[in-house]
Amino acid sequence: MLNFFEDGFFLEDEANLFRVDSGLSTHIESLSISNDDHWIASSIIPEFSVNNIGNDDLVGSDLNETLNGGEGDDLLTGNGGNDALSGELGNDTLLGGFGDDYLVGQEGNDWLEGGVGIDFLVGGLGEDTLVVMDATAANSMPFADLIVDFDPLSDWIKLPDNLAESNLFLEPVFTETGEINTLIGNRLNNTILASVLNTIPTQLEGRLIATATASDSTLGQATDLGILGNITISEFVGDLDPEDIYRFQLDIDSDVNIVLNGLSADADVALLQDINNNQEIDVTDIINTSQKPANFSESVSINALLAGTYYVVVYQYEGDTAYNLSVSATPNPQFNNPETLESFDSRFGYGLVDASAAVSQSAGVPDFPEIPDLGGNDWGRDLIQAPEVWTQGITGENVVVAVIDSGVDYNHPDLFSNIWNNPREIANNGIDDDNNGYVDDSRGWDFVNQDNDPMDFNSHGTHVSGIIAATPDGVGITGVAPNATIMPVRVLDRNGFGKINDALMGIRYAVENGADVINLSLGGNDYISEVLETMSWAVEQGVVVVVAAGNESSSFPSYPARFANQFGIAVGSVDRKNQLSSFSNRAGILPLNYVVAPGGDGGFSDVGDIYSTIPLASSAVPYRFLSGTSMAAPHVAGVVALMLQANPNLTPTQVEDLLTQTADHSTIAV
């Protein structure tokens, strides 16, 4: 029974069915419902409050509504419009529908699914499941869903049905106030599914629900192909048989070629090695994949794959299809240097960078004597033995390190005296005095806004700079090379995003304006030939390029760190116990210039992470703990600055060789 009152509608405490039709006109701004189970479909009334203990179904219209579930296990569906859904008490299901919706689970174990649009998902208390959707994935963060209140101890993130966990990348983003958010991305098309606020990638480990089967199978069921020569297999994958796994052996280092063709639907192929011998497909087992759309042929080629046991996985992406799989191996034993391979590990490369050994050998002098650790927040410098170098009077003086990042707070008291000053430019006279194409670039350049102010509004670049060259003033921290010069080059915006062309221009700017070292604490999942060409050019000009390996827990570095098989140094992360950080991308099975350095553990305790500078505007205390290979790379860039002060005649290749040859792989825990 419906009773009308001057201030609203009221449903009596009995079973009711009520629908507000689109033709109803009223001045009433809210609808309140009391006890029992109800079903509401809204059309024009902007707010519904179900203040009862029943299990209610509320369905919105195409307008913008607020639906409040009250007590009970409720189903709230926003339908069209930009809606706000609040489950209140009980185990509720919130479906945003179309539009940009705000979903709040409140108390109880809730299911939140934003649907189409840019949605905010707030789990609240209880064990909540927050659904991300491939159909609404975005190319940049402002257009992807936002998970606001994720609890890594109780909440879950449900992945799209077509994606396995191995199809994802988890990428940290540093905000201007120093917090870390994590992007959940789709490797298959390089789109962003959602951003999880105040959460680091490692906190999502074990909290992702995947229904795709590519990562659910065991390697024990693989079909054995024996010692690989050349074999072709014709088989089928589809809904009833979504993947096939094959095992083969290489008795000698070989070039391996895998081709998947004859497809009528979308299927993909991956090459794996069971690194931890658990017979499960883990993300760190993946050597390489081919994931082209539709029924395009797939291929994976690896030169000089080391002797051992490997797996090929053919898996359905969409639809049913027969396939032809060709796998061949051509012996290539002369490709690798046995002495080099003996010290290279697929997880941590050549090991922990050793500043003392690298610098002493650069200078051609005996090993420096050890000194007591500094302790405290300088544990990273202790771990790589940087203080041993400082006692020899080597501090990176007259070496320019370009930080190509989110900018640098050049006013920070721990960085101010070490900021690069363009000697050929007169500041603020409106003239390009040095004719380099950049007007008044007296302290670097901002390629995001195309101006001469490379100030940091994100914190990332300032944090990186402090690790390299914070001054030894007894306040905050001391950088690895405390008298090196920092050249600020801004290519990332305040949200941590940047354009490839800006990064390329930033590298060229650094080289052309006198940088000796470039630090790139950035990266992505795509091979981009222009990046490789620009890095190659920088190295040819005599500049050492140091690149963060990435934070996706992958079995190989992201780009451009993966180019370290040709140019530059890739850097993974260890924690203060010299254990490989769980988030760090590994070196991979193919040797490349890869070392590890302190990057923190990404855990809940700050003392396990890296303490460094952040912009003055970010906090009353302009220092913060952060973690990631972004923090590991500047440790190595600082070591390179020390090496170049000790011996300015070193070439980039000599620097790379010295770093890998002196790295310590004997004490790293995995």
pLDDT single digits (tens) 260-297: 999 999 999 999 988 767 788 766 677 888 888 899 99
For the whole model, what pTM was predicted?
A: 0.62
Lowest-confidence range among 57-61, 106-110, 271-275, 301-305? 57-61
What per-residue confidence (pLDDT) applies to 261? 97
38-47, 277-286, 518-527, 645-654: least confident range: 38-47
Summarised one tens digit per residue, pLDDT across range 109-120 is 777 887 777 777
The predicted pLDDT at position 72 comes to 65
Say if residues 445 and 602 touch (Cβ distance below 8 Å).
Answer: no
Torsion of CA 593, 370, 465, 584, to 10 degrees: 40
Read off the pLDDT of residues 85-103 as tens digits, 9 standing for 90 and up. 776 677 777 777 776 777 8
Does residue 518 register a pLDDT over 70? yes
Which of the four pLDDT bands, split at 50, 70 and 90, describes residue 52? very low
Q: Among the options 145, 405, 414, 493, which is catalytic?
A: 405
Q: Higher pLDDT residue, 311 or 83?
A: 311
Q: Is 619 helix (H, G, I), strand (E, B) or coil?
A: coil
Contact in structure between 134 and 163 (CB atoms under 8 Å) = yes
- The reported pLDDT for the residue numbered 200 is 85
More confidently predicted of 37 and 337: 337
The residues near 435 (Cβ < 8 Å, ≥ 6 apart) are none
Q: What is the pLDDT of residues 353-395, one digit of tens each?
A: 999 999 999 999 999 999 999 988 999 999 999 999 999 999 9
Average pLDDT over residues 184-208: 80
> CB neighbours (10 Å) of residue 452?
18
> What is the DSSP secondary structure assignment for residue 285, as one 8-state letter?
G
Q: Please name the residue that has the structure tokens 């090993």.
A: 367
Percent of the chain with pLDDT over 70: 80
Burial class (CB in 10 A: 0-12, 13-18, 19+), 416: exposed
pLDDT score of 305:
81
Domains by residue range for the chain, with CATH: 2-209 (2.150.10), 219-331 (2.60.120.380), 364-651 (3.40.50.200)
CA-to-CA separations, 367 to 364, 370, 662, in angstroms, rounded: 9, 9, 11
Set 412, 460, 463, 635: catalytic member? 460
Q: For strands 400-405 and 517-520, give the pairing.
A: parallel
Range in 191-195, 243-247, 276-280 with the lowest mean pLDDT: 276-280
Catalytic residue among 42, 362, 627, 630: 630
Question: Mean of the per-residue pLDDT values for the chain?
Answer: 82
H or E element that contains 358? helix 355-363
630 catalytically annotated: yes
pLDDT band at residue 44 under the 50/70/90 scheme: very low
